[in-house]
Amino acid sequence: MSRIITDCSLKLQSTQQLAEYITKLAISVNGQVAAASAGGEVLVDSQLLLEDCEQSIDVLEFSSDGNFLAAAGQSGKIYIWQIKATIAPELIETIDLKNNWLEHLQWNGNLLAFSWQGYTQVREFPSKKIITTLEHKDSNILAMAWRPPLFKELSLLADKIIKIYDSDNWDDEPITLYIEAVPVGLACSNDGRYLAVNRLDKSVSLFEWGNTEPWLLHGFLGKVRQITFSASREPILAMATINQIVTWKRSKKAGEGWLATMLEAKEQDNIEALAFAPNSEILASVSESGILALWFKGRLIGQVQADAGLSCLVWLNNSKAIVTGGQDGSLNIWKVIQSGKGFA
């Protein structure tokens, strides 16, 4: 039984300003918000941890326990801070990969996986021990994901293949999944059951764990730029092209596969990011035109126009607020006020 959401209003609660375009946002399990910018800034809550780097920070992620924060980007350096409740974050390591632009890293507990120029390495923190280094001959890693809920498997997306490694046996041959078109990105459902890959040919390959033959989702107006899963009991896959949002849910009827719902996003020009609220089917989207929109069961239930174009978003852990990053460097927190009636 869930409450039927009929409408939401969005109220600006607070704002901060960085010098450049906000490239990435992250939220810890403890509720701390981190932001990174194209000018090389890293901010946690109201504390600036990195500034005057002059090179873009493009990846930013807290460890699952909230004890570490990693940031990397154009400079080829990975910065790792240890986060403690009573003292300021401490920079405990800087890994210099010599001007190799870093676009992919992911935590698994205290293990950090990152890729550069045909290699993927996994290190443990705070010991800084190298757990493994994987070589990918003649291919670059395009995306990575640890498989929930146990996070034992690491999926690496390369040129038309996914390689899945067992973290208990790094030297074993990985499971290989094949993709018929050039892939762009990768997303794993929160229950670990599904793995989705958006492709350059305006389609998405959707694998179920244990099955090497994917469903092919297609019919989009343009290249699928964003994909994300809900954390609901039956995962919903949301995806966005330039100005189109589509959600997919698996039919309960055998043989029907996945059913699509088109969301009317005509006013949103260049959708930049999507995110479901924690443990909810409410979907938020932000666009280059500066619109923050909320969707529920295929219907627009609320939206607000920001002062500048928006580039990224995260939900706060209680689902009662959304943080957005702006193309003008603005960092806004919006209070989400729900109204509804009855239960379904």
Q: What is the C-alpha to C-alpha distance for residues 152 and 170, in angstroms, rounded to an integer?
A: 11
Answer whether residue 83 is part of any domain: no
Give the pLDDT score at 4: 54
Answer whether residue 152 is part of any domain: no
Task: State the CATH number of the domain containing residue 237.
Answer: 2.130.10.10
Answer whether residue 177 is part of any domain: no
Backbone phi, then psi, for 181, in 5-degree steps?
Answer: -130, 170
Give the pLDDT score at 344: 43
Residue type, 196: A
Give the pLDDT score at 216: 95
Backbone phi, then psi, for 2, in 5-degree steps?
Answer: -135, 150
Give the pLDDT score at 3: 52
Give the pLDDT score at 256: 82
Answer whether residue 2 is part of any domain: no
Longest dimension (CA), the chain: 58
| Strands 226-229, 236-240: pairing kind | antiparallel
Answer whether residue 53 is part of any domain: no
Q: What is the C-alpha to C-alpha distance for residues 288 and 308, in angstroms, rounded to an integer?
A: 8
Answer whether residue 251 is part of any domain: yes
Residue type, 306: A
pTM over 0.75? The answer is: yes
Answer whether residue 340 is part of any domain: yes
Provide DSSP, 28-71: -TT--EEEEETTS-EEETTEEEE----S-EEEEEE-TTSSEEEE
Q: Which of 182, 208, 213 is nearest to 195 (CA)?
A: 208
Cis peptide bond upstream of 235, omega within 30: no
Give the pLDDT score at 138: 73
Query: Residue 283's domain spans which residues?
Result: 224-344
Give the pLDDT score at 243: 81
Cis peptide bond upstream of 149, omega within 30: yes
Answer whether residue 321 is part of any domain: yes
Q: Which residue ranges of the chain lie beneath pLDDT 70?
A: 1-6, 265-267, 340-344
Give the pLDDT score at 99: 79
Total number of domains constituting the chain: 1
